[in-house]
Amino acid sequence: MSERPRGALSCPLPLRSGSVGLQHGGGGRAMRELVETLFLPAFDPDGRGERHDSAVLPGSGHALAFTTDSYVVDPLFFPGGDIGSLAVFGTVNDLAMAGAEPRYLSAGFILEEGFALDALERVVRSMASAAERAKVRIVTGDTKVVDRGRGHGVYLNTAGVGIRPAHVDVRPARIAAGDAVLVSGDLGRHGVAVMSRRAGLEFETSIESDLAPLASAVSALVEAAVDLRCLRDLTRGGLGTALAELALDARVDIEIDESRVAVLPAVRGACELFGLDPLYVANEGRMVVFVAEADATRALEALARIPETAGAARIGRVREPVSGPGRVTLRNDFGRSRPLPLGSGLELPRIC
Amino acid sequence: MRLVDEFRAPGAVDALAKRIGRVVTRPWRIMEVCGGQTHAIVRFGIDQMLPPTLSLLHGPGCPVCVTPIERIDRALFIASRAEVVLCSFGDMLRVPGSETDLLGAKGRGADVRVVFSPLDALAIAEREPQRQVVFFAVGFETTAPAIALAAERARQTGIENFSLLVAHVLVPPALEAVLGDPECRVDGFLAAGHVCTIMGLEQYRPIAKKYRVPIVATGFEPTDLLQGILLLVEQLESGRHEVENQYTRAVTAGGNAHAQSMLARVFEVVPRAWRGLGEIPRSGLGLRAEYRSLDADLRFPEGPAAAAEPEVCRAGRVLRGIERPTECPAFGSDCTPAHPLGAPMVSSEGACAAYYRFRSPA
């Protein structure tokens, strides 16, 4: 082990110049140095973690939640975030959507030979501060390096473990006719922010990604003791796809009022320009909440007290399915309804 | 966005819909030409606000939808060359060729990139001089001026690794093709406001006169569309067949003279095959002789054999307003946006995609 005081990112290796080499994934000295001088000081500054192939976590009387997700966002740095904070908050939010309090994450790095180490350091620092904000610890990890041209700078995988109180039960099957549908804020910021920096489509916008951890908001809902039925974070595919999936899984119809769904003017403008529907544009810090009608107001009050969900609003209601599989309808300002189907999985900017 | 909100105000929309209801005494069939208008009509439910005797038909105005399979196959063929970067607008990437689409080609290693402007493709050519950058130029008179600008810049700078695969089409010949069809059911047209912004209104006067059909240049917001329909219905009810302008905040009778002269310098009118409609004389734009050095068809002369369109797809009948998307037996079952059989299911402006997205059961 290094004699150098831990917690400081000043390191004996010329990390901030130079670039990732194949040796950094080779399991030898260079990789060890990378772990010791970059990952450990960032994720385990007080050196509590065991250095071992797996993290052994203390047990408890609660249910464990466990999830994993990989992150390949392009560009790696975008307004309001980067692949590092995305990889932390994304997995934290997946745990929170199970009603769990996120505790531990793993971090798997797939680095491309030639990737600048100062960029890697920015990603790692961003992960560390995201983990601090979300109150999770990054306790285990892995690093591989692929040949130049076979990666995209950095790909990230994070797995996460969380603790779920025994009385919390949130899942699609609990959604019932009469439930209120809440959404935790305005929509479409992440997709527009990322698109605004994507090669070939650069445009001027002040929009920043909505990227944020949702675990505090979920804890607030749990503490408020509302009858929480189901939670779903709105990532790729947006609100439209999330609701369509839930309607199918829960076999219910869902009605949404378009006028109650907030979209920032600049996001609406960019969507008009590119021919995209903000209801299908990606978010990274928004969720839809299904709650028993009688508890809807209290749930909104709980969400309003948490900064990440201060813009929460009630947008619709759950109905008995009219026929066949569950479906989602959107009522527009003119009182006309249209269905919200599953997204195509790929939103392409239109021609004119 | 306050500008848009004004044209989506529920009170104004409701008032216009009621006025149309009071004017209409007979059944009329109105075709909106532009895919953007189709999309707005279905998204906002404009057609549901109209009296039942008034039906809207969806026209051939989605440039992605009318690009023939031969052009897509040619783009795929060129994209498969190792030295080529093929650039195009986003919604061209999923339009099916005879075997795959550009997204599929990208998955197999072709360098296919989405750009928002042909000038971005030109910039890629400047940045990557060792690559052959080909811009797949599709669209109506609306997108053509930007292509002309890129062509002029490329010629001025003498850049050698940039070329254009041109599939441009023109609106007025398509209207004539629809009107000349013996099965034609169209009583009046909403002309595409953005095309008229460039080209003006004069081109439509001979068509209105020859076919005795009213044409109203119309915008894309709910109040635009309803006002355009109102003007058209007033003409139909009083037996007039004039060219009118609803979209006065953007369209002038003469259009954009600067853009028109740029088009005239770079392009000449050529015959063009339309997906679903077949070849229409004088309906496309091709590069003039002075710009042939930028012609990707000449730079990459060899190509695949011509392929037929899938028989089950009724895009041609949909694009001519003879059938609605939902009348096609493949609609929503064999043909969906995820697995489109024909182009109208692909583009966000395609009539089939608009119906799938906004009308089909979820």
CA-based nearest residue in chain A for residue B337: A344
Please indicate whether, in this complex, the C-beta atoms of A351 and B92 are within 8 angstroms of each other.
Answer: yes
Out of A164, A184, A217, pick the residue that ends a domain. Answer: A164
Average pLDDT over residues A220-239: 93
Whether the Cβ atoms of residue B62 and residue B218 lie closer than 8 Å to each other: no
Confidence check: pLDDT of A194 > 80: yes
Give residue A9's pLDDT: 35
For residues B14 and B90, state if they share a domain: yes
Domain boundary among the residues A136, A164, A192 is at A164
Let me know if residue A307 belongs to a domain.
Answer: yes
Model confidence at A62, pLDDT cuts 50, 70, 90, reads confident
User: Helix, strand, or coil here: B113?
Assistant: strand
Rounded Cα–Cα distance for residues A133 and A126 (Å): 11
Looking at the fold, whether B220 and B342 belong to one and the same domain comes out as no
Nearest to B320 by CA among B27, B124, B11, B60: B60
Name every residue whose Cβ is closer than 8 Å to that of residue B307 and which is 6 or more positions away in sequence: B69, B70, B73, B97, B98
- Write down the pLDDT at residue A17: 43
Q: How many Å lie between the alpha carbon of B361 and the closest alpha carbon of chain A? A: 6
Q: Tokens 């809807």 label which residue? A: A296
- Report the pLDDT averaged over residues B100-110: 86
C-alpha B197/C-alpha B203 separation (Å) is 12
Here the CATH number for the domain that contains residue A203 is 3.90.650.10
Residue of A nearest to B121 (CA): A200
Interface check A338 vs B, CB under 8 A: yes
Please indicate, yes or no, if residue A3 is contained in any of the structural domains: no
Sheet of B28-34: strand order equals: B54-61, B28-34, B188-192, B215-218, B243-245
A54 inside domain = no
- Do B13 and A336 count as a contact with CB atoms less than 8 A apart? no
- Does the pLDDT at position B85 exceed 80? yes
Q: What is the pLDDT of residue B6?
A: 83
pLDDT of residue B25: 97
The pLDDT value given to residue A153:
94
> Minimal Cα distance from B113: which residue of A?
A200
Is residue B319 very low, low, confident or very high in pLDDT (cuts 50, 70, 90)?
Answer: confident
Together in a domain, A203 and A249:
yes
Give the mean pLDDT of A211-234. Answer: 96
Residues A81-94 have a mean pLDDT of 96
Residue A1, in any domain of the structure: no
- One domain for residues A200 and A317: yes
Closest CA to A210 of A231, A232, A235, A243: A235
Distance CA B214, CA B232 (A): 6
Lowest mean pLDDT among A81-85, A103-107, A202-206, B59-63: A202-206
Strands A337-339 and A328-331: antiparallel
Q: Is A38 in contact with A6 (CB distance < 8 Å)?
A: no
Which residue in A332, A192, A243 sits closest to B14, CA to CA? A332
Q: Across-strand partners of B335?
A: B331
The pLDDT value given to residue A15:
43
Three-class DSSP category at B279: strand
Output the CA torsion sign for A222, A226, A228, A232.
negative
Residues B335 and B304 in one domain: no
pLDDT of A1 above 50: no
Average of per-residue pLDDT values in chain B: 91
- Same domain for A154 and A75, yes or no, is yes
Residues B227 and B321 in one domain: no
Q: Which residue of A has its CA nearest to B141?
A: A352
* Best CA proximity match to A93, nearest among A247, A216, A270, A215: A215
Which has the minimum average pLDDT: A58-72, A136-150, A245-259, A279-293?
Answer: A58-72
Domain tally, chain B: 2
What pLDDT score does B307 carry? 75
Q: Which residues of B touch A324 (CB under 8 A)?
A: 361
Domains in chain A: how many in total? 2
Whether residues B286 and B348 share a domain: the answer is no
pLDDT at A203: 65
**Residue B360 with chain A: CB contacts under 8 Å:** 339, 341
Judge: B140–A334 Cβ closer than 8 Å, yes or no. no
pLDDT tens sequence across B228-241: 999 999 999 999 99
CB A147 within 8 A of CB A114: no
Same domain membership, residue B233 and residue B323: no
**Yes or no, beta carbons of A348 and B87 under 8 Å apart:** no
Confidence of residue A10 (pLDDT cuts 50, 70, 90): very low
Identify all chain B residues contacting A344, using CB atoms and an 8 Å cutoff: 337-338
Residue A133 sits in the same domain as residue A223: no
A352 interaction partners in chain B (CB closer than 8 Å):
36, 63, 89, 139-140, 142-143, 194
* pLDDT above 70 for A350: no
Looking at residue B93, what is its pLDDT? 84
Q: Are strands A287-291 and A81-82 parallel, antiparallel or unpaired?
A: unpaired
Range of the domain at A133: 22-44+62-164
Q: Of all residues in chain B, what percent carry a pLDDT higher than 90? A: 64
Closest CB to A344: pick one of B39, B138, B338. B338
Residue A224 sits in the same domain as residue A324: yes
Question: Quick one: B215 and B96 in the same domain?
Answer: yes
Domain residue limits at B236: 1-314
Q: What is the CATH number of the domain that holds A72?
A: 3.30.1330.10
Q: A106 and A38, same structural domain? A: yes
Q: What is the DSSP letter of A187?
A: -
**Is the same domain home to A156 and A176?**
no
pLDDT band at A31 (very low <50, low <70, confident <90, very high): low
Which residue of A272, A276, A326 is in closest CB contact with B4? A272
Q: Across the interface, do A199 and B194 touch by the CB < 8 Å criterion?
A: no
- What are the pLDDT digits (tens) for B247-275? 999 999 999 999 999 999 999 999 999 88
Q: Are residues B310 and B332 in the same domain?
A: no
Tokens representing residue B261 in the block: 């002269």
Residue A67 lies in a domain: yes
Query: Residue A308 is which amino acid?
Result: E
CA distance A102 to chain B (A): 34
Task: Note whether B139 contacts A272, CB cutoff 8 Å.
Answer: no
Please tell me the predicted confidence (pLDDT) of residue A55: 60
The strand ranges marked E within B79-178 are 84-88, 111-114, 132-139, 162-169
Amino acid at B4: V
Same domain, A142 and A189: no
d(CA B43, CA B40): 5
Whether the predicted pLDDT of A295 surpasses 70: yes
CB contact under 8 A, A341 and B42: no
Tokens for B236, please give them: 């139909």
Q: Strand, helix or coil at A267?
A: helix
DSSP letter (8 states) at residue A4: S
pLDDT at A12: 36
Contact list, A339 vs chain B (CB under 8 Å): 358-362
Q: Are residues A222 and A320 in the same domain?
A: yes
Q: Is residue A105 located within the same domain as residue A199?
A: no
CA B55, CA A113: separation in Å to the nearest integer? 61
Of B194, B348, B362, the CB nearest to A327: B362
Beta sheet of A63-71, edge-to-edge order: A63-71, A154-164, A101-112, A137-146
Per-residue pLDDT reduced to its tens digit, A297-331: 999 999 999 999 999 999 999 999 887 788 999 99
Interface contact A244, partner B, CB < 8 A: yes
For residues A187 and A261, membership in a common domain is answered with: yes
Domain end among A164, A182, A205: A164
Span B324-353, average pLDDT: 83
Q: B33 and B117: one domain?
A: yes
Query: ω before A172 within 30° of 0 (cis)?
Result: no
Output helix, strand, coil percentages for chain B, rounded to the nearest 5. Answer: 45, 20, 35
Average pLDDT, chain A: 85
What pTM did the predictor assign?
A: 0.79
Question: To the nearest whole angstrom, how far is the Cα of A191 from the nearest Cα of chain B?
Answer: 15
pLDDT of residue B361: 47
Q: Is the pLDDT confidence value at A351 over 60?
A: no
| Rounded-to-integer distance, Cα B279 and Cα B274, Å | 6
pLDDT-based confidence at residue A29 (cuts at 50, 70, 90): low
In a domain, A9, yes or no: no
Task: Supply the Cα-derived Rg of chain A in whole angstroms.
Answer: 21
What would the pLDDT profile of A122-168 be if each residue is shown by its tens digit?
999 999 999 999 999 999 999 999 999 999 899 999 999 999 888 88
The CATH number of the domain holding residue B53 is: 3.40.50.11740
* Joined tokens for residue A193: 């922010």
Q: Do A348 and B10 touch (CB under 8 A)?
A: no
Distance between CA atoms of A121 and A241, rounded to whole angstroms? 35
Minimum-distance CB partner of A334 among B10, B89, B362: B10
Contact (CB<8Å) B44/A336: yes
Percent of chain A at pLDDT > 70 equals 83
- Out of A203, A244, A336, name the one closest to residue B45 (CB): A336
B201 in the same domain as B133: yes
Does residue B215 sit in the same domain as residue B327?
Answer: no
Residue % of chain A over a pLDDT of 90: 55
What is the amino acid identity at position A171?
A: R
Give the whole-angstrom CA distance, residue A15 versus residue B119: 38
**In this structure, are residues A63 and A127 in contact, taking their beta carbons and an 8 Å threshold?**
no
The CA dihedral of B257, B261, B267, B270, to the nearest 10 degrees, is: 60
Q: Is A349 on the interface with B (CB under 8 A)?
A: yes
Residue B350 sits in the same domain as residue B210: no
> Which residues have C-beta within 8 Å of that of residue B149, sequence separation ≥ 6?
B118, B119, B262
Q: Which of A341, A346, A351 lies at the smallest CB-CB distance from B64?
A: A351
Please report the pLDDT score of residue B295 as a whole number: 97
Same domain? A145 vs A179: no
* Residue A200 banded pLDDT, cuts 50, 70, 90: low
Taking 50 as the threshold, does the pLDDT of residue A8 lie above it? no
What pLDDT, on a 0 to 100 scale, did the predictor assign at position A23? 61
Pick from B305, B303, B304, B323: which is nearest to B313 by CA?
B323
Question: Could you tell me if A348 lies within 8 Å of chain B, comparing CB atoms?
Answer: yes
Are residues A333 and B45, on separate chains, in Cβ contact within 8 Å?
Answer: no
Q: Do B194 and A332 touch (CB under 8 A)?
A: no
